Structure 1
Amino acid sequence: MSSAILETTSTAATMRRNFWRGVWRVMKRKPSRLVGAVIVLGFTFMGVFGPMFYPEVLPRDTSQLYAPMSAEHWFGTDGQGRDVLAQVITGSRYVLLSALVTAVITVVLGTAIGLFSGFKRGRWDTVLMRLTDMKLTIPGLPLLLVLSTVWSFGSALEMGLLLGLLGWGGVARAVRSQTLSLRERGFIEAARGLGLSTTHIVGKELLPSMAPYIAMNMLIAVTGAVYAQVGLFFLGVLPYEADNWGVMLNLSVFGGGALTTTAALPYMLAPLLAILLLTLGIVLVVDAMDEIFNPRLREE
């Protein structure tokens, strides 16, 4: 018994080593993928630890309103004399945390509904897909505009919760289609023939096979959540109780006239550059994940 356990443990460790070696080979094949991973890790570090390097209320200098870019202020200052780069860093926590919460809720809800619906089929499939269709027909922006009249969204968790509850429909549909394809495979038929429970088949057989697809959808959901919340704050439909990139864009354009004068231009470009870099990093990581989990691409 002990030798069998040791052999199983050794096999699992070997598989893990081979997997990570394959990941490293895929990442090295295109240096841009390594750049993407560094960008994503950099934003993660900035969101978690960045605000710790600054006071809760950023210092203001009324003698340097919309100061140009310099060694002291890399992206200049805003209309209150606050450092723009400091605002990008401190505002990243709200944006990234709410995007992460959105992605987790979107993927968990969408995956659970899609897996169960596609595997069970029949009445459950009909009910869950009609519910998903109803969800997809609800216009997100008008609903958010209505909710903003009674909900301040001062917390990143609140924003992430709402965006996640509004965004799972597409993932549910996509996962269901994948499940319908996988449920006819031989290993699923064998599991059903052995009398294994639905929970076991879905959790141990279907879910691991779809893990790469789910992981990529989660990264894509992060970018969608960033765009959604930044857009809402930029349009001014949400109160400025939270300091984030969308608020910076709103104040730079409508308060500083960044589109008509160069004084506030760095104030607008800084959050735009952050959003662009984050999107680029995620796209490059998704490209690497596609090859890591696709045997056909690895062989080419």
Structure 2
Amino acid sequence: MSATLVPETGSASATMRRNFWRGVWRVMRRKPSRMAGVVIIVGFAFMGLFGSLFYPDPLPDNPAAIIQPPSWEHWFGTDPQGRDVLALVVTGSRYVLLTATVTAIITVVVGTSIGLFSGFRRGRWDTVLMRLTDMKLTIPGLPLLLVLATVWKFGSPLQMGLVLGLLGWGGVARAVRSQTLSLRERGFIEAARGLGLSTTHIIGKELLPSMAPYIAMNMLIAVTGAVYSQVGLFFLGVLPYESDNWGVMLNLAVFQAGAMITPTALGYLLAPLLAILLLTLGIVLVVDAMDEIFNPRLREE
């Protein structure tokens, strides 16, 4: 009997996966803008992973081409060291995107875990965890980062992502707890508890799938928040310029190349700004499809 049930179970699971991905494909095709968002995000991921293969690291200086205006050879011009600005955007994306990814993972994992456990268990655990979350939310992030920057160089994107992630989970924890409090009173959760299923099973198999679109959206939003945070810190000159990234480019474009008053250096300023705006646009377009992707009823409409 058991030998015949296993293939059937595996076949049903495979069928569900195929139906899910077909539904995702239909949702993405419904609006061309969503496909454009996927292309943008995949393009940035490719740039961050393989961009260094196309350009040497570090990029060589060229004294004969200092602060050149945009041209066919240099689409966004050159920087004060004569390096191609577009190449700087590509090579600098690795630090920015890796930091944003690490930040998003830590923010969502920590915030979701605390919010789910607190909202489901209630009682003393809920009180303790929410007081810790409230304390976390009251800590001003920027002043703390300024203090940490005096003793920690943030030369590694993993270090930067770790700090930003540990500073950013409070809002996710609060929001997930609210969602959990609403879901735990639903009939399917009551039925699971009535059957004597473990807390781990209920959270992992019942609550998490229902909250998947909300968690996925928070992860994408955390990526944009991490990009803005780190770029802002480098632009303000708070962090040392130990690695090329978009924030360093913006700082040097304004305060060294004089991009605000020198037309030939304007491309040095616009290139990282356009990269940030394009990445944000791609994430916004994908977030637009999240609810339909994870809601079977909306996928079928």
* Global fold match (TM > 0.5): yes
Instruction: Write the distance in 2 (CA, Å) between the matches of 1:118 and 1:109.
Output: 14
1:292 aligns with 2:297: no
Check the 8 A contact 2:41/2:283 in 1, yes or no: yes
- The number of residues matched between the two structures is 300
1:81 alignment partner AA:
G
Corresponding residue for 1:187?
Answer: 188
Corresponding residue for 1:95?
Answer: 96
SS at match of 2:175: helix
Note the C-alpha offset of 1:295. Answer: 4.4
Q: Could you give the per-residue CA deviations for residues 99-145 of structure 1, whole angstroms, max 9, x where no partner exists?
A: 00000000000000000000000111011111101100111011111
Q: Could you give the per-residue CA deviations for residues 61-117 of structure 1, whole angstroms, max 9, x where no partner exists?
A: 111111111221111100010111111011000000000000000000000000000
Instruction: Write the distance in 2 (CA, Å) between the matches of 1:112 and 1:246.
Output: 32
Check the 8 A contact 2:104/2:219 in 1, yes or no: yes
Instruction: Write the distance in 2 (CA, Å) between the matches of 1:263 and 1:142.
Output: 35
Check the 8 A contact 2:154/2:239 in 1, yes or no: yes
Check the 8 A contact 2:118/2:130 in 1, yes or no: yes
| Stretch moving more, 90-99 or 17-26 | 17-26
Q: Please list every run of 5 or more consecutive structure 2 residues that lacks an aligned counterpart in the other structure.
A: none
Instruction: Write the distance in 1 (CA, Å) between the matches of 2:223 and 2:118.
Output: 25
Note the C-alpha offset of 1:298. Answer: 3.7
Q: Please list every run of 5 or more consecutive structure 1 residues that lacks an aligned counterpart in the other structure.
A: none
Note the C-alpha offset of 1:27. Answer: 0.8
Instruction: Write the distance in 1 (CA, Å) between the matches of 2:110 and 2:222.
Output: 13
Note the C-alpha offset of 1:199. Answer: 1.6
Note the C-alpha offset of 1:297. Answer: 3.9
Note the C-alpha offset of 1:299. Answer: 5.4
Check the 8 A contact 2:141/2:167 in 1, yes or no: yes
Corresponding residue for 1:104?
Answer: 105
Check the 8 A contact 2:23/2:300 in 1, yes or no: no
Instruction: Write the distance in 2 (CA, Å) between the matches of 1:11 and 1:297.
Output: 22
SS at match of 2:202: helix
Q: Could you give the per-residue CA deviations for residues 18-38 of structure 1, whole angstroms, max 9, x where no partner exists?
A: 111111111111000000000
Check the 8 A contact 2:96/2:245 in 1, yes or no: yes
Instruction: Write the distance in 1 (CA, Å) between the matches of 2:58 and 2:167.
Output: 33
Corresponding residue for 1:125?
Answer: 126
1:178 alignment partner AA:
Q
Q: TM-score, normalised by structure 1?
A: 0.97
Check the 8 A contact 2:77/2:264 in 1, yes or no: no
Note the C-alpha offset of 1:271. Answer: 0.3
1:272 alignment partner AA:
L
1:31 aligns with 2:32: yes
| Stretch moving more, 57-66 or 88-97 | 57-66
SS at match of 1:206: helix
Note the C-alpha offset of 1:294. Answer: 3.0
Check the 8 A contact 2:104/2:220 in 1, yes or no: yes
1:186 alignment partner AA:
G
Note the C-alpha offset of 1:296. Answer: 5.3
